Structure formats: C-alpha cells, structure tokens
Amino acid sequence: MELKVKRVPIDESEVLEIRCHKVTDDVQEIISFVKSRQGQLSAEKDGQSVEIPVIDVFYAEAVDNKVFLYTSKDCYEVRLKIYELEEMMKGKKFLRVQKGLILNLMKVKSIKPALSGRYTALLKNGEEVVISRKYVADLKSTLKGGD
Amino acid sequence: MKLKEKIGEAFRLYFILVTLITILLLILGMLLDGDRTFSYEAFLSPLIYAAIGVIPVFFFNGDKEVTMKGLVVQRLIQLIMVEAAMLGIAFWGKSIDTDRSEVVIGIAVGVAIIFVLSLVVEYLFELSISQKLNEDLQRFQREED
C-alpha cells in the first residue's frame, strides 16, 4: 500500500483517508489504531459494529485468541491482538496486569492482597481482577508516575 | 519469578521462620522437656530448620499463573514437604527422644502452626504494600482526572 502524507493549510480540516480495494484485517487494524488515538475503539457486539469510548473500558482480556473489552455492564469483541491493544492504550492509563489482561487504572476502586505476591483490584463496577505477581512492579512504578 | 526475586523472598521468609521456630522451640521445650539444658550449639537449630523451611520457595514460585485452588494445593504440598523434612531432620539427627510420641505430635503441630503463621505474616506484609498501592492509586487518579 502506498503511503502519502500531504500538508494542508491550518484553516482546512485534517482528513485521514484510506483508499483500498477491500477492508482487510490490516486495514481494520489501521482504522482501530486511528480511532483509539481519537479516544474511540471499534468493537463488535452481537454482530453489530460499535464505537466504544476508551474511557468507558474497564479492562480488556484475551480469551481463546479473541480479545474482549469490558465496560461497566457490557462485553464487546475487538479485532485486535492484546499486545496491539496494549500498544494503543499506552499513555491512556491502561496497564497490563496479567499475561492476557489490560486494566484501566482509572476504573480501580481499591487494591487488596491475594496471597503469594498477587493482588486483587476491586473495580468501580464491583468486579474483581487479579494482578499477577509479575506485573506488580510495573503497577507500583506506574502509580508513582513512571512509565 | 527470577532467581534474584526468589532469593529475596527466601531471605524474607527465612527471618520470619527463624523467629517463629525460636518461639516454637521455647514453648515446646518448656512443655515437653523443661529440665533439659543445651550448649550454645542449640542456637543453630532455628537457623538450620528455617533454611529447610525456605527450600520450597525455589520449587513453587514459577512464572506460571495459578488459580486460587491451585495455590491452596501448592501450599498444602509445601506443608507436607516441610513437615517431612523437619521431622526427618529431627529424628535423623537423634536430637529428640523418638519414644515420646507427644514430641512427634508437638513438632508436627508446631511446624503446621509456623507454616500458617508465616502465611499470616506474609499476608500482613502484602496488606501494608496494598495500603501504599491504594494511596498511590488515589493520587494517580486525582492527578489524571
């Protein structure tokens, strides 16, 4: 695919146009990335495409090669790999807390011990998510203001 | 878990166990064999028993995530290993009279109590860490809002 970047005057609105023969998975990935940069994620629920504001996502989890977004009450499937989603969510208060789970730190109500160096994050919707021992150091660093 | 982290955890557990084993020896000794006197070598016992007690740390803290049920099973296996090692060393070294069954029961129960207490101490450590995490979390959320 050829890539073109054209500068436009300040009074003209910025447009990102993708011209393709077919909306493939790669194209869909680019669309998802752009939308995530604008604070939206493209997802599916019951075969319908929906846009989810990133700030509404509590956590994202990979289950059997599929990735699901969990909001306060709903669950949506997103056509991305968990590492791609993690990359997109960088700088958006999301942190990987399990091998296949990315957590929105803004949706965590409190944290309590879960034995053996693990912790449980109690979310604002009442759900609980386990923080693996392996990712506790990252959590401490992020909460203290590190990356 | 990396070897460095395992060694760190083993050290932390070691000192908890030394303290708890010393208390156990004091209580068991007073109850079962109060008149007996020892040389200074007796101070080595808690150090040796605690060293045995931390061995499972190197076998059971892999990177693989376990469920809560798996964790409980792991801990039970650890307890059985530690019980077997402690009793084995105690009788093998002939440091106690094997004819007195209450001594065997005392050691077995004592080891189990220490095992549970070490988990309680570990939980208290983690509780204090979680309190700090909660403070940092609230600050993080205030700053990011």
- pLDDT tens digit sequence for A88-132: 887 778 999 998 999 999 999 999 998 778 899 999 999 999 999
Residue A3: the pLDDT is: 86
Nearest C-alpha in A relative to B71: A116
Confidence of residue A139 (pLDDT cuts 50, 70, 90): very high
- Determine contact, residues B88/B49, Cβ cutoff 8 Å: no
Residue B64: the pLDDT is: 67
Question: Identity (one letter) of the amino acid at A88?
Answer: M
Compute the average pLDDT of residues A19-43: 81
B126 at A interface, C-beta within 8 A:
yes
* Cβ separation A115–B144 shorter than 8 A: no
Q: Which residues contact A75 (CB under 8 A, 6 or more apart)?
A: A45, A68, A69
B62 at A interface, C-beta within 8 A:
no
8-state DSSP, B129: H
Token digits for B49? 């028993």
In DSSP terms, A121 is beta-bridged to A111, A129
A119 at B interface, C-beta within 8 A:
yes
Write the CA distances from B99 to A119, B94, B104, B107, integer angstroms.
46, 11, 9, 14
Measured CA to CA, the distance from residue A16 to residue B116 in angstroms comes to: 61
The beta-carbon neighbor of A111 closest among B65, B130, B139 is B130
ipTM: 0.75
Write the CA distances from A104 to A56, A60, B51, B134, integer angstroms.
9, 8, 41, 15
Q: pTM here?
A: 0.69
Q: Which residue has the tokens 């699901």?
A: A68
Q: Which residues contact B75 (CB under 8 A, 6 or more apart)?
A: B119
Kindly report the number of other CB atoms within 10 A of residue B36's CB atom.
8
Residue B80: the pLDDT is: 86
Range with lowest mean pLDDT among A74-88, A89-103, B8-22, B100-114: B100-114
- Determine contact, residues A76/A44, Cβ cutoff 8 Å: yes
Architecture of domain A25-143: Beta Barrel (2.40)
- Determine contact, residues A89/A54, Cβ cutoff 8 Å: yes
Residue B93: the pLDDT is: 64
* Cβ separation B141–A105 shorter than 8 A: yes
Question: Which of A114, A109, A78 shows the shortest CA–CA distance to A98?
Answer: A114
Name the residue range of residue B127's domain: 3-144
The domain total for chain B is 1
Q: Contacts from A65-73 at CB under 8 Å and sequence distance 24+? A: A69/A41, A69/A43, A70/A127, A72/A124, A72/A125, A73/A125
* Cβ separation B130–A139 shorter than 8 A: no
Residue A68: the pLDDT is: 94
Token digits for B118? 């070490």
Q: Report whether pLDDT(A63) > 90.
A: yes
Measured CA to CA, the distance from residue A140 to residue B13 in angstroms comes to: 22
Task: Give the 3-state secondary structure of B22-73.
Answer: HHHHHHHHHHHCCCCCCCHHHHHHHHHHHHHHCCCHHHHCCCCCCCHHHHHH
Residue B5, min C-alpha distance to chain A (Å):
10
Question: How far is C-alpha A23 from the geometric centre of its chain's CA atoms?
Answer: 22
Token digits for B101? 């069954």
- Determine contact, residues B82/B49, Cβ cutoff 8 Å: no
- Determine contact, residues A118/A131, Cβ cutoff 8 Å: yes
B15 at A interface, C-beta within 8 A:
no
Nearest C-alpha in B relative to A130: B67
* Cβ separation A143–B123 shorter than 8 A: no
Q: Report whether pLDDT(B112) > 80.
A: yes
Confidence of residue B98 (pLDDT cuts 50, 70, 90): low
Q: Report whether pLDDT(B46) > 60.
A: yes
Give me the sign of the Cα torsion angle B30, B120, A143, A67: positive
Q: Report whether pLDDT(A146) > 70.
A: no
* Cβ separation A113–B129 shorter than 8 A: yes
Count contacts between A and B (CB, < 8 Å): 52
* Cβ separation B71–A142 shorter than 8 A: no
Q: What is the mean pLDDT of chain B?
A: 81
Question: Identity (one letter) of the amino acid at A106?
Answer: M
